[in-house]
Amino acid sequence: MTDMFDPTNPQVALLAELAKECDNNDPIDWSGLNITQEQAFHLMAGHVAEMEDNVLTLKAVCVKLMVENFALNLKLMGTK
């Protein structure tokens, strides 16, 4: 069985790389965190790679993440 949390796994590396490309448009401030950008993207790519390959499930997860990001951005904008 393939270890999806192995940073050398090609599927995980590809997912992480594609996700980082999206991060270029809305970068995350990594200062003060105990994890690097590279580690975080590989960790989450491993989780996604293990997910069931069901389009509806993947879309639901995407919507949840977008809503979380939207709410976080609203909170951050409110603190300025």
**Distance of alpha carbon 5 from alpha carbon 30, whole angstroms:** 21
Say which residues have a Cβ less than 8 Å from residue 38's Cβ, sequence separation at least 6.
Answer: 16
- Residues 18-42: tens digit of each pLDDT: 888 776 777 778 888 999 988 998 8
**Distance of alpha carbon 13 from alpha carbon 15, whole angstroms:** 6
Q: What is the mean pLDDT of residues 49-72?
A: 86
Which pLDDT value is given to residue 58?
84
pTM of structure: 0.65
Q: What is the mean pLDDT of the chain?
A: 82
**1, pLDDT greater than 80:** no
Q: Tokens at residue 19, please? A: 């996700």
